[in-house]
Structure 1
């Protein structure tokens, strides 16, 4: 099996979780790391047996097959484009871009270069989602017409980039995108949406509740940084519903309740950091010379960020760099 050599851009918490997960993926290894902080890059590389590069250009010129991007939102598009133009496949942390317009620029480069590009949205690759899809294929709940999902986390420390509008901070892009994924996965693209919420004094969304009409139904999602909210989700169909238990974005357990009284429990323990499942799928795609994922397609990424664009507009939230 061809070994996929990864380079990582960024050394924050999500990049570390990615590297930890990669150790659980057969036929994949971390080869190179770059960060704006040279000391952080050297320490990170030492922890995972990789080479620390002095510049992003050096990383892109090194002997790697793919790049994982784990930097703040506002740099995702720039690094994705540079990596694909350098000849590498890209797995970019969510959100892949801060707006649909920016994402279209990234996807145009992916099409022009013929390189694999995938947004790193972990839920669909977890064993629980795989088992749930298999079960619903055999014993469906009918057409899914309603999706409810969300969670809120008030423990983000003061001074974090999520409170900085110049860094595209706020709850929508950071955690609201998970709800956007679930809604668009089961209901299709958004047609219209209404949003209520709160902005911080600095101008980022502290809380947002979004009601959306989709091609096949209605979704209700919420996200926040100033309240604590449970993290379960529900898929409602014509003859039953699914409850994906907390934390649904790192799913381990689901309950299916049918209108005839039957209940089915699905348990699917996960191993590693959880990011290993999306990494393994990405490696399979790269070995097959694919340019996008059938489980997280470019169309799905477009649908997710389009929903969040509309939600932001409903709050009157415009980032400084968009003015």
Structure 2
């Protein structure tokens, strides 16, 4: 680790970003709102966008990925999802902790390799699933602990975006695209977070001209209930979520994965409105959590655990099997 004693409760966290696309820019913008953290370096196979991104924040545009790793305390992976394991494994080999954009990997096998490598190296590794770190989501959790809606048995969530450009990586079979991995993984998180591990997944959907899933509808039986989920790239669908219990319901209003407002309706007629605006673009909350874990010497988040990530990708794997969707780079 660096000389500023990260892992001993002190020191600035110097971040590096691999990738220079939209999510990399959002991360860099959000990082400015994280105390004790700064962007130190950027590397991308696209040299000019990397230079521009680094220049905006006074960071170094590195000449290679290895050069990036030499000058940082933590790595954020913001490349296309098919390359996530490649960069994560190299980072772990270099002794660097990793915050990896969702989905951390396109299948459970690749994700398990990443987890195993991080644990073997005793390094922090977390999938960047942002919703549980938002102020609204945390306030909702606290409210339900004090005034619950009974036994929760249903999660219903979905989002479909009709105007995704045809040249977007989501439509690339070679890059591991598709609605399930790009959008459905959010819904999988919500279901796992409230209902536990998935026991059975039933999926119907459509594949588009490029071979990726452009719409999928999932019914999932979990340890503690049922989830009804959908995701799509060619229809316009709402982005709210419903959590139903024996004593009431929670509606997280759209867009639920950037949560600001929730309505809790109890069977006794009471209604509670929660509202918590977020700041800094939203990615700052997960990043601040990661920095706190890093300073504490942790290798896993208690909120976004390795087990949660594995449970999420297991749902997506099962759904892709139902749709007979396989990526060219996947091996048996």
Superposition TM-score, scaled by structure 1 size: 0.99
1:33 maps to which of 32, 38, 42: 42
Task: Give how far 1:38 is off.
Answer: 1.4
Task: Give how far 1:42 is off.
Answer: 1.0
**1:226-255 Cα distance to aligned partner (Å, 9 max, x none):** 100010001001101100000000000000
Q: Does 1:20 align with 2:20?
A: no
1:49 equivalent in structure 2: 58
1:276 equivalent in structure 2: 284
Q: Does 1:9 align with 2:18?
A: yes
Could you tell which deviates more after superposition, 251-260 or 36-45? 36-45
Task: Give how far 1:41 is off.
Answer: 1.2
Q: Does 1:259 align with 2:258?
A: no
1:76 equivalent in structure 2: 84
**1:158-199 Cα distance to aligned partner (Å, 9 max, x none):** 122111101011100001000000000110111011001110
For 1:16 and 1:322, locate their aligned partners in 2 and report how far apart those are by CA, in whole Å.
29
1:191 maps to which of 193, 196, 199: 199
Q: Does 1:246 align with 2:228?
A: no
SS in 2 for 1:165: coil
Consecutive unaligned residues of structure 1, counting only runs of 5 or more, are none
For 1:228 and 1:50, locate their aligned partners in 2 and report how far apart those are by CA, in whole Å.
38
Consecutive unaligned residues of structure 2, counting only runs of 5 or more, are 1-9
Q: Does 1:182 align with 2:190?
A: yes
Equivalent residues in 2 for 1:125-144, closer than 5 Å: 125-144=133-152
Task: Give how far 1:142 is off.
Answer: 1.0
Q: Does 1:61 align with 2:64?
A: no
For 1:219 and 1:309, locate their aligned partners in 2 and report how far apart those are by CA, in whole Å.
16
SS in 1 for 2:34: coil
Task: Give how far 1:263 is off.
Answer: 0.3
Task: Give how far 1:54 is off.
Answer: 0.6
1:236 equivalent in structure 2: 244
1:321 equivalent in structure 2: 329
1:117 equivalent in structure 2: 125
Equivalent residues in 2 for 1:190-229, closer than 5 Å: 190-229=198-237
Task: Give how far 1:155 is off.
Answer: 1.4
Let me know the Cα RMSD of the aligned residues.
0.7
Task: Give how far 1:120 is off.
Answer: 0.2
The alignment covers a number of residue pairs equal to 322
Q: Does 1:88 align with 2:96?
A: yes
For 1:256 and 1:185, locate their aligned partners in 2 and report how far apart those are by CA, in whole Å.
18
For 2:330 and 2:88, locate their aligned partners in 1 and report how far apart those are by CA, in whole Å.
20
For 1:185 and 1:47, locate their aligned partners in 2 and report how far apart those are by CA, in whole Å.
36
SS in 1 for 2:239: coil
**1:11-40 Cα distance to aligned partner (Å, 9 max, x none):** 000010000000001000000000101111
**1:43-91 Cα distance to aligned partner (Å, 9 max, x none):** 11001110000110111122x1100000000000111111111111100
Task: Give how far 1:225 is off.
Answer: 0.4
Which 4+ runs in 1 deviate beyond 2 A? none
1:298 equivalent in structure 2: 306
Q: Does 1:159 align with 2:185?
A: no
